[in-house]
Structure 1
Amino acid sequence: MALLAIAVLATAAGMRGYAGFATWAATASDDVLAQVGVRFRRPSEKTFRAVLFRLDPADLNARMGSYFTAHVASSDPGGLVPIALDGKMLRGALRAKATATHLVSVFAHRARLVLGQLAVAEKSNEIPCVRALLTLLPDNLRWLVTVDAMHTQVVTAKLICATLKSHYLMIVKSNQAKILARITALPWAEVPAAATDDSRGHGRVETRTLQIITAARGIGFPYAKQIIRITRERLITATDQRSVEVVYAICSLPFEHARPTAIMTWMRQHWGIENSLHWIHDVTFDEDRQRAHTGNGAQVLATLRNTAINLHRSTAPTTSPTPAGSPL
């Protein structure tokens, strides 16, 4: 436990890998080391490498995830907890004749905490990994699961709604061609805007307009209650370049439990995982240049980075508001 505590503290301080952990331990005060349980010899790079190399990444992730899931549960007692599931390649783990480590994370929208992480099996993809992660979620909470189009699958929807007794918000694209065709054929021109949202920053202005239609039985997707269309209009202010993107989604919550403003917020927070998590890993922790690639190193170090992020965020006041119209 002392070595893990040092590794997390060193990670939070910007140290990278086993050598960085040893450097942090070598320069930390005796009092700080005593507080984490080190009372004699300061651990070396060799010690960190030997111990962390032998850790079971799934067990480490489960223990860390359980702790932070309890934190989320205490902040949302009896409510619906929105979570995003999304994958990321650890490009720094690439090596000759091998593929990069590919991890899928469970990310709590409002608390902005990572609640779980699993590696995608070799010669596989994210779909079974996401389902495995869902089965690890505690069944004493109700979840609102947001996913990209890859995971808009009948089996995944049934797992969320029937097994977990929770709900989904899924993006629909051409991988579900029949459902997409039915959705795009609906009379959207006659549907008024249910909500609008504007954002400005980084030289860009974006306006999002949301429309909703109650799902009919013929939509052909289990548990679907609402069909959503979001039109995203972007303006690059420096060049006056304009673009329009239309995104479709389906939600298992009925209108009375998922109002347009709540859906808009959940969609925006789902898209925001790139900045709220992946960007932090890539830029703050320089993850793509880290070269831990033997044994379980890449997964263990990613979990330590998640833990450092979570500890910082869980001890700071949240700035994410509850979506208006949400049952939370």
Structure 2
Amino acid sequence: MPSYLRQLGDSSGPAPPETVADLRKYLVEVPDPRARRGIRHPWTALLAAAAAAVLSGAVSITAIGEWVADAPQRVLALLGFRPDPLTGLFRPPHATTIRLVLAAADGDALDRAIGRFLQERQAPAAGRRLIAVDGKTLRGSRTRQKTATALIAAMTHGGQVLAQRQVDGKSNEIPAFAPLLDGIDLTDAVITADALHTQHDHASYLHERGAHYLAVVKRNHPGLHERVRRLPWRDIRLDHIERTRAHHRDEIRRLKTTAFAHIDYPHARQALQVVRWRRDMGTGKLTIERIYLVTSLPPGAATGSELAAWIRGHWHIENQLHHVRDRTFHEDASKIRTRNLPRVMAGLRNLAIGIHRQDGHTNIAAALRRTGRDHQRPLTALGLT
């Protein structure tokens, strides 16, 4: 057969490089809580099967069970399932077994394994690492007896989740900030977060880890906000201006930066003012918003256009992660509430989104459909071949 016909016959698309990490190498770090007696399926095989199913678009435990039940014998073997000693056939696990396994899995250990896998899978990017920190509540996990599960995640501005932790139901995101970032190399990284994390302890922690911050200053820090707001912004030159037209509105963003000798915030070197002019193209209504920030980056470490891009890039964690989990995976509509299931399923969705982003897909829904058409595709993406 001519070579060009053989190429046409291969519709699975280009395979990732041979250096793609093997997910199972990281899943072995997730402890197996099951008693030894009566175990039929390997722990890592069950977790890998759930990951492959979610990578193919499964949004529920039932859908994961259906994907595994339809998997060919070769796929079950690659996932790590054992053959029946009498028949030699690979028997897929029941959906109930998958539910019990995922409900018992350690969410922290699973998220650490996923974060390390995604970091090894992607080649190091040139330039500074930009990491956004933000929280999300799984609304469908709320019951009469307990509050909804709340999670906080660290994600690169490119859409790769590096870490995730569950927030204590009796607290908020602030105590979870440092533990979330403990397992990530923060050397020379820039951390962006909302005003809730503009905390003195957070700034000191990031400085000790060799990282920089872009911290939003709002009225929940009245003294700091007033000092930054009263800087002579009218006399400070403009560093960056940008005009865009999207979502039925015109928007102009102006950025100014200034250095100062001292301000009552640890390791702060510059203050920033962002002015946003927005005009609704339908109603003609004009709104003006002023946002103030402080950063530990020294003057000259980043241009005005870079700072503006980093400030806007923080909201990618909303658009590229939380929005996708809600709209594409229907996370807020999910009624999964048993034990660790809400947390574990969120981690598996992070894994799927991260892999598809790394592989160059911008439309996650289309990537899920494409992956779901061939049982081999998710295994290739997870390095299980």
The TM-score normalised by the length of structure 1 is 0.91
Give the drift of 1:47: 1.0
Distance 2:91 2:249 in 1: 53
Q: Deviations over 1:108-163 (max 9, x none)?
A: 01x31000000111210000111211222236x432110111110111000001x2
CA offsets, 1:57-114, max 9 Å, x none? 0001111111223345x4236x4211000000000111113211000000101x3100
CA contact (8 A) 1:22 1:45 kept: yes
Spell out structure 1 runs of 4+ moving beyond 6 A: none
AA at the equivalent of 1:257: A
1:184 Cα deviation (Å)? 0.7
Per the alignment, in what secondary structure is the counterpart of residue 290 of structure 1? Answer: coil
In structure 1, runs of 5+ residues without a counterpart are 319-328
Match in the other structure for 2:101: 51
| Pick aligned residue for 1:185 from 226, 230, 234 | 230
Q: CA RMSD in A?
A: 1.8
Aligned partner letter, 2:50: A
Asked if the contact 1:85/1:107 (under 8 Å) is kept, the reply is yes
Q: Does structure 2 retain, via aligned residues, the 8 Å contact 1:84–1:106?
A: yes
Q: Say if 1:104 and 1:118, in contact at 8 Å, map to a contact too.
A: yes
- Is 1:118 the counterpart of 2:165? The answer is yes
Corresponding residue pairs, total: 313
Q: Secondary structure at the match of 1:255?
A: coil
Report the identity percentage.
Answer: 36
Distance 1:71 1:211, change over 3 A: farther
Name 1:323's counterpart in structure 2.
Answer: none
- Measured in 2, the distance between the counterparts of 1:207 and 1:5 equals 47
Are 1:159 and 2:205 matched, yes or no? yes
Task: Tell me the residue number matched to 2:194.
Answer: 148
- Work out the CA distance in 2 between the residues paired with 1:8 and 1:236: 43
Q: Show the 5 A alignment for 1:3-22.
A: 3-22=46-65
CA apart distance, 1:317: 7.4
Q: Is the 8 A contact 2:241 2:254 kept in 1?
A: yes
The one-letter amino acid paired with 1:122 is G
Q: Distance in 2 between matches of 1:35 and 1:272?
A: 35
Matched, 1:76 2:118: no
TM-score by length of 2: 0.78
Greater percentage in helix: 1
Structure showing greater radius of gyration is 2
**Are the structure 2 counterparts of residues 211 and 52 from structure 1 closer, same or farther at C-alpha, using a change threshold of 3 Å?**
same
1:253 counterpart residue number: 297
| Higher strand proportion | 1
Contact 1:134 1:160 in 2 (8 A): no
Which residue of structure 2 lines up, in the alignment, with residue 26 of structure 1?
Answer: 69
Counterpart in the other structure of 2:139: 91
Q: Secondary structure at the match of 1:87?
A: strand
Cα distance in 1 between the residues matched to 2:116 and 2:99: 25
Greater shift, 254-263 or 9-18, is seen at 9-18
2: CA distance, partners of 1:167 / 1:92: 35
